[in-house]
Amino acid sequence: MSSYNATVSTSRRLATLVDGIVYVDEMQATDIQLVQEAFRGQTFVDGDTTPDVSTGFVFQTANTAATSITGFDNALYDGHAITVFFSDGNTTLVNSASLSLQGGMDITPSAGDVLVFITWGGVWYGWIARTT
């Protein structure tokens, strides 16, 4: 079995993710909150066409108007994987040089759809994990 490792930190290592298990180093209460936030779902800013993903791994959309996402900003490392839950029907993902989508076409997910993305070499690769 291959191992997947990720480290969440501020100025020092706080926790390490290995094969889906979080190993917590010595922490203070505020440090634990930072780790919890990274693995808890966060909402993208309404209308953001290149949402920042540097703060975690699980996100949701909540766009109140038509929004075309062309990529994601601030990947933590090559291999950074994110899961996005679409809680609206206003978001379109635009297939491009920086966002490579399943089938090579733009995708407009329905509310309740889930897509998974992984970045490598500056390109985010996405595929549908669940549709409503």
Reported pTM? 0.72
In terms of Cβ atoms closer than 10 Å to its own Cβ (0-12, 13-18, 19+), residue 5 is exposed
What is the distance between the alpha carbons of residues 99 and 50, in angstroms, rounded to a whole number?
10
Domain 41-130, what fold?
A: Jelly Rolls (2.60.120)
- DSSP type of residue 79: T
What is the distance between the alpha carbons of residues 64 and 128, in angstroms, rounded to a whole number?
22
Is residue 68 helix, strand or coil?
strand
Instruction: Map out the domains of the chain as residue ranges.
Output: 1-40, 41-130
Is residue 38 helix, strand or coil?
helix
Q: What is the pLDDT along the chain (132 residues), one digit of tens a residue?
A: 444 444 444 444 555 666 555 555 555 555 555 555 656 788 999 999 999 999 888 999 999 999 999 999 999 999 999 999 999 999 999 999 999 998 899 999 999 999 999 999 999 999 877 776
Q: What type of residue sits at position 79?
A: G
Q: What type of residue sits at position 127?
A: W
Two tokens at 16?
């390490």
